[in-house]
Amino acid sequence: MDEVELRAQVPRVLSVLVGRGAAFATAEDAVQEALIRALRSWQDDPPADPTGWLVTVAWRIFLDTARSEASRRDREDRFDAEPPAGAVPSTDDSLRLYFLCAHPDLTPSSAVALTLRAVGGLTTRQIAAAYLVPEATMAQRISRAKRTVGEAGVDRPGDARTVMRVLYLVFNEGYSGDVDLSSEAIRLTRQLTTLTDDPEVGGLLALMLLHHARRASRTGPDGRIVPLAAQDRARWDTELIAEGVDVLRAALERDRLGEYQAQAAIAALHADAQRVEDTDWVQIVEWYDELLRLTDTPIIRLNRAVAVGEADGAPAGLRALADVPEGVPRRDAVAAHLHERNGDLELAARLYADAARNAPSVAEREHQTLQAARVNHLLTGD
């Protein structure tokens, strides 16, 4: 069993301890310690029942912790006896952990970190490396999150929409550090699809798979952003695309359309085009209209303006962009693109420069700076 397979055991083991009455924070620490011991001892002699081994060891660690803390003597009295053998419940119980980690009292960043730790089984060091923050900072964030859940109790878990939003946040963190957070989000979402009967979870998984399929073509050898229109489509992962389309089709057949299914349908249309010229922009606009009916946000209106500009021309795209408030991230970049297509190169160059100044990342800033330089070159001929 490799490390990824081992991490997949975490929700079930943690669910067992919490189900036996262990406090969430203490139980989570015990499971993490059990994982460390497993990595040390299983290489030479893996157990026949990995889950049972982890439950037994984690429970003993929990008991040792309870005994060593005077403030928890009452809990020690209740849990000092070893529970009966064969008490590992169905994996369906692990769904509860997703909702606990999406507790309404947690901030999105804390919910993401706690999900990666408690459900994903990542260490604090791995999560800190992925988020490019000091390990001590991440340890404090996770400790506060566990304390919040412990103090608030388990009677107010997050809802399914919050759980999916947390997983999508994990996916969008990308590929930094020694843990591929996008792959980790896909792994956790696959797990969630087996635990709940909501077609939107399938839509979320399809969306992740279809975006992940383009991963290899998104950046150049120098790390620069490669826009969708310029990507080498021969490098797209056709197996992931096929899987994503199949998952999406199964979700849509349930006839309970949600925002993730609509976003996945848009991604599928992009993936279906062998050349950028083959993209069915009219149908993409129609899906954006559906998405607006489901969830009307400035970002969706911004992306719709791009699609309208491709389907009906730059003037129509600029009219659609007028519905997007100033200050929305990447609005200047979209406006620059549409004005360039409309022939107003001077305004486009200024807007690309504005987009560079307001870019949310170094890579985005460099990309928009290059766009501004390219258009200025067209203006001056230098």
Distance, in Å, from the CA atom of 287 to the CA atom of 293, rounded to the nearest integer, reads 10
Domain positions in the chain are 3-89, 297-382
Q: Which residues of 330-361 are buried (b: 16+ CB within 10 A; e: fewer)?
A: bbbbbbbbbbbbbebbeebbbbbbbbbebbee
pLDDT at 163: 85
pLDDT at 247: 97
Q: 195, 92 in Cβ contact below 8 A?
A: yes
Note down pLDDT in tens along the chain; length 382 residues.
677 778 778 888 888 888 888 888 888 889 989 988 888 888 777 888 888 999 999 999 888 887 776 444 454 444 444 444 444 444 445 667 778 888 888 888 888 888 888 887 788 888 887 777 889 999 999 999 988 888 876 667 677 788 888 888 888 876 554 567 788 889 889 988 987 889 999 999 999 999 999 999 998 888 889 999 999 999 999 999 999 999 999 999 999 999 999 999 999 999 999 999 999 999 999 999 999 999 999 999 999 999 999 999 999 999 999 999 998 989 999 999 999 999 999 999 999 999 999 987 888 999 999 999 999 999 987 6
pLDDT at 25: 84
pLDDT at 77: 47
pLDDT at 320: 98
pLDDT at 69: 62
**pTM for this prediction:** 0.76
Burial class (CB in 10 A: 0-12, 13-18, 19+), 155: exposed
pLDDT at 334: 97
